[in-house]
Amino acid sequence: MDNRKHIISKSLSRFRGWIQAAAALLTNPHLPNFFKGGIYQGKTKAVCVPGLNCYSCPAAAGACPIGSFQAVVGSSKFSFSYYITGFLILFGVLLGRFICGFLCPFGWLQDLLHKIPGKKLSTERLKPLTYLKYAVLFFTVIALPALVVNDVGMGDPFFCKYLCPQGVLEGAIPLSAVNPGIRSALGHLFTGKLMILIGVVVLSVLFYRPFCKWICPLGAFYALMNKVSLLGIKVDEHRCVSCGACKRVCQMDVDVTSSPNHTECIRCGKCINACPTDAVSFCYGFAYDSNRNGEKK
Amino acid sequence: MLRTKKAFFQGTLLIAGMVMLCAGVMRGEADTVLSKAIRLCLECVGIG
């Protein structure tokens, strides 16, 4: 049983790149729309996808949960979204930040950018910046779209409008490339967001997943759910030889032996592959033991 | 966190998530999402 679990855990982390590619394709299956200059308009767009994927991407089959939340709270009819909050709680409990590590297209892009050879910098000393994403979630996604409203009670989607680089990458760039009408309408707002995108791209080459660590409001929500998620990481204390290989290999700056369900753990499984004694594995279920002898924290 | 307490918390959150999702759909939030998602989001692409 234990062996089977380790084989599954190791396979998941080894094939993570392929799973990320498949998830990005499943989220964006309408590829011909890239050449038509329009977006998909089917009914599946009422359903959210778990990762950060702009619904203005021509190929997108579903809706972005962060954009949808702002659309609902910013509408004149509602001031809170039970639909999106329920969706996020459900996926957060079922998978936690496994979604960031395996299913988010923007996370995959940052992984690919970080593979570009060159100087790599550690984010270990920049840990306080990880709290910034909670402020982004609260202010730009929840509070401002609901509170700053016009005469008819409609608010702006502040995160999508001023911060999100995914809208420029997936929406503005491909659409403006083939649609002259959209191209001519782009102005200062686009320029500002393009600068953010360029900044994220450059930082992603230098640092591992800077957007996920410091800015992403979706990552912030799933981070809060990581400690209660059914999918977790388990460290067998009988097998652990405290060599520190798992901590050294973790690019999210997590020490899995002391905190297996840390908010920053994206369940990438690098620690599972690095462990020389197979002490680390994925586990799934209600109230599993994170450490075989009980949790340290 | 005690195991039973954690399991209870997980179960409660799962049920709460499902209830909230259904409540949101019933009061028409999914229609709001659909109407936003099938049109080009001007804010997202940087038009304004």
Answer yes or no: do B24 and A83 touch at CB < 8 A: yes
User: A183 near A176, Cβ under 8 Å?
Assistant: yes
Q: Which residues contact A287 (CB under 8 A, 6 or more apart)?
A: B3, B4, B6, B7, B10
Q: How far is B22 from chain A (nearest CA, A)?
A: 7
- Check: pTM over 0.90? Answer yes or no: yes
Task: Give me A69's structure tokens.
Answer: 């939340």
Nearest CA in chain B to A87: B21
Torsion, Cα A139 A143 A147 A153, to 10 degrees, reads: 110
Residue A180, judged by CB atoms within 10 A of its CB (0-12, 13-18, 19+), counts as exposed
- Which residue of A41, A48, A82, A289 is the best one to mutate when testing the B interface, meaning the one whose CB has the most B CBs within 10 A? A82
- The CA distance from B41 to A177, in Å, is 17
- The pLDDT tens digits for A8-54 are 888 898 999 999 999 999 999 999 999 999 999 999 999 999 999 99
- The pLDDT tens digits for A188-235 are 999 999 999 999 999 999 999 999 999 999 999 999 999 999 999 999
- The CA distance from A186 to A164, in Å, is 16
Task: Give me A156's structure tokens.
Answer: 């702006």
Position A153 confidence tier, pLDDT thresholds 50, 70, 90:
confident
> Which residue(s) pair with A232 in the sheet?
A283
Q: Which pLDDT score is estimated for A88?
A: 98
User: A14 near A272, Cβ under 8 Å?
Assistant: no
- The pLDDT tens digits for A48-89 are 999 999 999 999 999 999 999 999 999 989 989 999 999 999
Checking if the pLDDT of A138 tops 60, the result is yes
- The CA distance from A39 to A171, in Å, is 9
